[in-house]
């Protein structure tokens, strides 16, 4: 990215605050799967509850993601909904600190599911704000810079959760997550004109927007194939959420908090791969890249037990 583009983005009212809010909110989200698993394992010793807690924040988003996206498109009321997301996640995190190990398991899952209702907003919700904050000629660098917040969160979030758990106890990552969400909220409410995009909102009603979006995924073979392949792959990937802490203790003779560094290393590799393999993406058919990528990913995961 050239310096002129960076200067132009800095000059846009609210854009620096937007990048800060998005990065902090996503870092908080990326800390969750490590922090909550470590806390559940420490207080209950139940891998089943640890996995179910992560699932409890993920499963509701399968239903609410298309609904939230349609609502943002149709209503354009982004400020209230995005702010609500940060308030909800902060409240849920503090509630989990008190509930895990002290309340019935179903209570923990119910509390976590509340956060899952707005969970997708920290990712796609922030991205949808960019056209309202920058002019069209700055969209490309703005998208590139905003994408870096994903990479930073993927690397920093798990490592921070693991470090805090090792130094200050397994409850500390959730407390810090809540604090990051509140700071992100303060930055977000300082962004002017986030609802300016409503002037160009999608025509039609809420239900029609949801149905049209789902119809596109089902009817277009490329979208259907990518969605199915991604869903199947993420099922296996999700197993690592609980497997990494147990693997660290039982096979590496390391503390559970090492799982945070394992996730951080995974994110660093993902970032390097995305940046270094651009030429390959331009030379070969996308479907071949997806197939080869999935095969290599699975083969490398099989090698993990050799780490001991």
The DSSP string of the chain is: --HHHHHHHHTSTTHHHHHHHHHHHHHHHHHHHHHHHHHHHHHH--HHHHHHHHHHHHHHHHHHHHHHHHHHHHH--HHHHHHHHHHHHHHHHHHHHHHTTTS-HHHHHHHHHHHHHHGGGGTHHHHTTHHHHS-GGGHHHHHHHHHHHHHHHHHHHHHHHHHHHHHH-TTHHHHHHHHHHHHHHHHHHT-TTTTGGGGGPPSS-HHHHHHHHHHHHHHSHHHHHHHHHHHHHHHHHHHHHHHHHHHHHHHS---TTHHHHHHHHHHHHHHHHHHHTHHHHHHS-HHHHHHHHHHHHHHHHHTGGGG-
pLDDT at 64: 82
pLDDT at 132: 77
Domains, the chain, with CATH or none: 3-206 (1.20.1250.20)
pLDDT at 27: 93
pLDDT at 198: 46
pTM of the model: 0.80
The ranges of the chain with pLDDT < 50 are: 198-203
pLDDT tens for residues 284-301?
A: 877 777 778 888 888 888
């Amino acid at each position: 990215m050239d310096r002129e583009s960076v200067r132009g983005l800095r000059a846009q009212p609210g854009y620096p605050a937007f990048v800060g809010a998005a990065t902090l909110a996503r870092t908080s989200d990326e800390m969750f799967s490590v922090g909550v698993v470590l806390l559940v394992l420490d207080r209950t010793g139940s891998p089943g509850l640890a996995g179910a807690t992560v699932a409890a924040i993920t499963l509701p988003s399968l239903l609410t993601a298309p609904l939230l996206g349609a609502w943002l498109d149709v209503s354009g009321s982004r400020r209230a909904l995005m702010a609500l997301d940060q308030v909800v996640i902060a409240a849920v995190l503090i509630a989990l600190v008190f509930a895990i190990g002290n309340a019935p398991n179903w209570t923990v899952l119910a509390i976590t599911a509340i956060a899952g209702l707005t969970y997708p907003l920290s990712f796609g919700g922030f991205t949808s704000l960019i056209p309202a904050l920058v002019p069209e000629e700055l969209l490309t660098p703005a998208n590139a810079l905003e994408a870096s917040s994903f990479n930073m969160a993927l690397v920093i979030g798990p490592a921070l959760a693991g470090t805090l758990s090792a130094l200050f106890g397994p409850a500390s990552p959730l407390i810090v997550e809540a604090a990051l969400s509140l700071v992100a909220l303060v930055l977000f409410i300082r962004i002017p004109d986030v609802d300016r995009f409503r002037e160009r909102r999608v025509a039609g009603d809420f239900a029609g927007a949801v149905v049209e979006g789902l119809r596109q995924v089902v009817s277009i073979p490329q979208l259907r194939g990518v969605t199915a392949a991604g869903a199947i792959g993420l099922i296996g990937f999700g197993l690592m959420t609980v497997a990494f802490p147990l693997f660290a203790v039982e096979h590496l003779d390391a503390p559970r908090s090492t799982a945070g560094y394992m996730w951080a290393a995974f994110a660093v590799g993902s970032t390097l791969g995305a940046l270094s393999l651009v030429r390959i993406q331009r030379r070969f058919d996308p479907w071949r890249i997806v197939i080869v990528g999935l095969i290599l990913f699975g083969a490398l995961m099989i090698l993990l037990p050799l780490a001991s």
